[in-house]
Amino acid sequence: MAAIDETAVRARIGAFRTAEGTGIPAGMVDSVATRDGLVQVALMVAKADAARQEPMRRALEADLAAMPGVRNATVMFTAPRAAAPQPQAQAQAQEPGTLLGQVGSIVAVASGKGGVGKSTVAVNLAVALARQGKRVGLLDADIYGPSLPRMLGTKGKPEMAGNKLVPIEAWGLKAISIGHVVEEETAMVWRGPMVLNALTQLMTQVAWPELDVMVLDLPPGTGDVQLTLAQRLKLAGAVIVSTPQDISLLDARRGISMFRQVRVPILGVVENMSFFCCPNCGTRTDIFGHGGAEAEAQRLGVPFLGAVPLLAPIRETSDAGTPIAASAPESEAGRAFAAVATAVAAGLDGAGPARGPRIVIE
């Protein structure tokens, strides 16, 4: 298979013509990324023109996918870059609460490291909150590793309402993920600015309805995405997911420290994979230890939201797209997630308004 590079892709875009014979101006191409036969292109299109330009986007995507050496091609729209704001305007732009204003409480589910089951907790927390009668949204903010479509069992791309995407409905939730827009096996080889732009589009170019709670499934770590969302959203609080062992707790401490630095309340800590009971003999084994997250929460002075056991049905239902909080709510795992949701809801009801972050660099 022939190798594909950025120069060849840009040349193909330059030669592309729509059915009406219209080309794509070079200035419209915001970025091109290629790796291992994967192509991703961002085109600058004004928000008001996005719906009209959608046929062109699909045609270009198909044209690039037909290039020798291309395994998958994705074309996305990005908003034109605005002029640099004046200091006062810049301060206003960073004022939290300007995005997702129709949402009552925005809850970030985070972890200091990957592999602790954060997305599993986020999905089942959202489903459990919806089962308690709340209007719940779920936004997958992990652009590099979107897992919501698989875990919710949703396939196909969202419909459009005017120039906005309509959230996917599943298990009582309104949900959206970059995985609903691109193919499942597409690797997002984007640099930071493209990721932040895509996140902004998932917040502003999706027809989110009035919601009681929005659950944000954050990527692991304490980087640009977490800080940007803390700046641009009025977060009601953060839920930190950890496993019991020391190495995971060390990273959880960093996550708690980050949210405290940007003055986002900590709703509490969830200990995932807390213990394992053999389904045959009933013997309990603390594979990753037990109680470490609860002890750490007590040490740091934050609530402990509950322990979720390590059970095969949690993995099986996640892979099958039937979250256990919905498909087996009376199971041991279902009750554990319901208890976490009850604790989170109580924290939201008892919390005062979240103060906006004030980030100072000295």
pLDDT at residue number 32: 86
Q: Which of 167, 159, 158, 156 is nearest to 207 (CA)?
A: 167
**pTM for this predicted structure:** 0.70
CA 92 from centre of chain: 25
* 295: CB partners within 8 A, 6+ apart: none
Structure tokens at 196: 């932040």
Q: Which of 229, 228, 256, 230 is nearest to 241 (CA)?
A: 256
pLDDT at residue number 239: 95
pLDDT at residue number 96: 47
Instruction: Please list the pLDDT of the chain residue by residue as tens digits (362 residues).
Output: 567 888 899 999 999 998 888 899 888 888 888 877 888 888 888 877 888 888 998 899 899 989 998 888 888 887 665 544 444 433 334 444 458 889 999 999 988 777 788 999 999 999 999 999 999 999 998 877 788 889 999 987 888 888 888 999 999 999 998 888 776 666 666 666 777 888 888 888 899 999 999 999 988 876 778 877 887 888 999 999 988 876 778 878 888 888 888 889 999 999 988 877 777 777 777 777 677 788 888 888 899 999 998 888 999 999 999 999 999 999 999 999 999 999 999 999 874 433 333 333 33
Structure tokens at 349: 């009801």
195 touches 144 (CB < 8 A): yes
Give backbone dihedrals phi and psi of 176, rounded to 5 degrees, phi first.
-150, 150
State which H helix or E strand residue 92 sits in: helix 87-93
pLDDT digits (tens, 9 = 90+) for 281-330: 777 777 776 777 888 888 888 999 999 988 889 999 999 999 999 999 99
pLDDT at residue number 281: 76
pLDDT at residue number 188: 60
pLDDT at residue number 93: 42
